[in-house]
Amino acid sequence: MNNGVYIDGTWRAGRGAAFTKHCPATGDISWEGHSASAAEVEAAVASAHAAFPGWARTPVSERIAILERYSDELGKRTAVIAEAISRDMGKALWDSQGEAATMKAKIAVSIAALKERAGERDEPAAFGQSRLTHRPHGVMAVFGPFNFPGHLPNGHIVPALLAGNTCVFKPSELAPSVAALMVEAFETAGLPPGCLNVVHGGRETGAALIDQPINGLLFTGSAATGVFFHKHFAGRPDVILALEMGGNNPLIVWEPADVDAAADIAAQSAYLTTGQRCSCARRLILPKGAFGDAVVEAIVARANAIRIGAWNEPDIFMGPLVSPKAASQAVDFYNMLLAKGAAPILPLTASEQGTGFVSPGVVDVTGAQDIPDEELFGPLIQIYRVGSFEEAISRANASKYGLSGGLVCDDDKLWAQAYGEMRAGVLNRNRPTAGASGAMPFGGPGLSGNFRPGAYYAADYCAWPQASQLAPKASRMTAPGFSS
C-alpha cells in the first residue's frame, strides 16, 4: 500500500507530520504514513495545472473510455476497497461492500449526466448556427469525508475528470486507505500522470491546499468547515465552490396503518452506518398520544435488538463511530440534551473504552429548552411530540439546515401538504431519509450546502457553458442608424 503523496503519477514519501489511523473497532493500525508538506501540496497543484491543457483537449470519447476502464478496475477491487474502508472507519463490511459497488456504478451515472447536463448542442440560425458547449474549470481540489471515503470523493473526481478538469485529492485523515486503491485503478485504466494527485494529511494540509491557485473546491463535510471555506473564498467568484455540509434532518411519522413499518423506517433512518450519514434522521416528529407512544416503544425495541460489533463480525448492523473521540463527543452531546431538560428514553453510552463503540440512543426533547440546531454524527434520535400536522411541518422546518427529510404516512393529502411545504433537498415518503439515488441530485438549502447539489448534478459544477454564434464567413452588418 502506498502511504505517501502521489504527484505527477509517482508515489513519494510525504515530508509532513507522521500520523497513524487505528481501526475504531479493533485498535489495529489501518494506515500509517506522513502528511504532505506545504511544498508537496504546491507541487501537486502545479502538476495538475501542467496536466490540465492536454487532458482538457483530450476528446470526450477518450476521457469516457478511460473512466469506463476505471469502472472495470474498481469492480476488480471491490473486496479490497470494502475491507480498507471498514478497517479505517469501522463500518460494517456489508455497508462498505455497498459503498464499493456504488463507486463502480458512479461512472455510468456520471457519463449519462455529462451528456445530459453538460453536453453539446447545435441549432440552425439565419447566419449559420448556434452552438452550446461546456468547458472545464481547471484544477479541482477535492476534500473527502471519512464516512464514505471512497464513494463521496469519487463522486466529485469522476465527473470532474469527465468534464476535462484535473484534481488534487485530500482524503480524510480518518479514513485514508482507499485513496491508494483508487489511484491504482486509475493508473491501470490509463489516466495520464498529473490528472489526479493525492495529498494526505489533516487541517494543515487542507489549509495549504486552499491557499494554492486552484480553480474549484469540491467538499463534503461539516457545516463549520464548509462555512470556513465559503468565507475563505469570499470575493473569489473565479473559484467554483461545491459544498455539501450535512443536515439536522427531520422525519415525521403521522398515523400510518403499520406502526412496525414506521418504526423500521425511523430506526434505519437514524442508525444506518451508526448514524454517520449526512442524510440520517436526527429529529423524529410524532403526534402526542397513544400512536406516538407506540412508535417510540417499537423504535426502542429495535434499537435494543441491533447487533453491534467489529466490521468483520457476521450479521452486525452497527459498527463503531469513526474514533474514540467521536464516541466521547456523542456521549457528551446526549448528556448535554439531558442537562437542557430532555427526557431519557434509551441512553446513548460508550460501550468499550478506547474504541468507537456506542449504543443507539433515544431521547425526548419536547419539553427541553435551547436545544441546539446541530448535527450529531451518531446514532441518536431526538423526539419531538406535537399536537397537529401543521405543527409537525413547522417543527421539521425549524432548522438552519435542509438536506433531507421524510414523512411516514398513508394519507395522500398529508403527503401533498408536506411535499409542498417541507424544506429539504431530499424528501422521501415512507422510505428512510438516508435513501438517495445517484441518478438524482443530492444537496439541500440552508447550511446544508451552497446550492451546488452533487450526485447526478455534479456535472453542473464541473464545467461552465459556452454559447457561440457561428457563420461560415464574415458578412456585412446592417442596423438602423448604422453605416459602414
Judge whether 435 lies within some domain: no
Same domain, 237 and 349: no
Same domain, 151 and 271: no
Residues 36 and 54: their CA atoms lie apart, in Å, by: 26
Judge whether 163 lies within some domain: yes
Mean pLDDT of 32-42: 95
Confidence of residue 4 (pLDDT cuts 50, 70, 90): confident
Mean pLDDT of 427-438: 91
Residue 61 CA from chain centroid, whole number: 28
Residues 253 and 259: their CA atoms lie apart, in Å, by: 9
- The model's pLDDT over 39-87, given as tens digits with 9 standing for 90+, comes to 999 999 999 999 999 999 999 999 999 999 999 999 999 999 999 999 9
Same domain, 241 and 254: no
Contact 225, 147 (CB under 8 A): no
Same domain, 400 and 284: yes
Mean pLDDT of 331-351: 96
Q: Identify the active-site residue in 244, 280, 375, 409.
A: 244
What's the structural domain count of the chain? 2
Same domain, 253 and 241: no
Give the residue ranges of DSSP H helices in 307-438: 324-339, 389-397, 412-421
Q: Is 462 a catalytic residue?
A: no
Phi, psi of 192, deg, nearest 5 = -60, 150
Same domain, 307 and 373: yes
Q: What is the pLDDT of residue 315?
A: 92
Same domain, 282 and 227: no
Confidence of residue 354 (pLDDT cuts 50, 70, 90): confident
Judge whether 480 lies within some domain: no
How confident is the prediction for the chain on average, in pLDDT?
A: 95
Same domain, 215 and 323: no
In the chain, how long is the greatest CA-to-CA distance? 86
Query: CATH number, domain at 274?
Result: 3.40.309.10
> At a CB cut-off of 8 Å and minimum separation 6, what does 220 contact?
143, 144, 145, 148, 152, 153, 156, 244, 278, 454
Same domain, 150 and 16: yes
Judge whether 436 lies within some domain: no
Q: Identify the active-site residue in 278, 280, 409, 462.
A: 278
DSSP, residue by residue, 270-284? HHGGGG-STTSEEEE
Nearest to 323 by CA among 20, 84, 102: 20
Query: CATH number, domain at 48?
Result: 3.40.605.10
Same domain, 232 and 86: yes
Same domain, 188 and 253: no
- pLDDT higher at 465 or 483: 465
Nearest to 55 by CA among 154, 139, 168: 139
Domain span holding position 297: 249-429
- The model's pLDDT over 266-316, given as tens digits with 9 standing for 90+, comes to 999 999 999 999 999 999 999 999 999 999 999 999 999 999 999 999 999
Mean pLDDT of 87-106: 96
Nearest to 464 by CA among 135, 110, 99, 98: 135
φ/ψ bin of 8: left (φ > 0), alpha (ψ from -120 to 50), beta (otherwise): left
Phi, psi of 280, deg, nearest 5 = -60, 150
Contact 356, 25 (CB under 8 A): yes
In a 10 Å sphere around its CB, with 0-12 CB exposed, 13-18 middle and 19+ buried, how is residue 244 labelled? buried
pLDDT at residue 36 greater than cutoff 80:
yes
Same domain, 149 and 202: yes
Judge whether 479 lies within some domain: no
Q: Is 167 a catalytic residue?
A: no
Confidence of residue 238 (pLDDT cuts 50, 70, 90): very high
Judge whether 69 lies within some domain: yes
Judge whether 194 lies within some domain: yes
Judge whether 481 lies within some domain: no
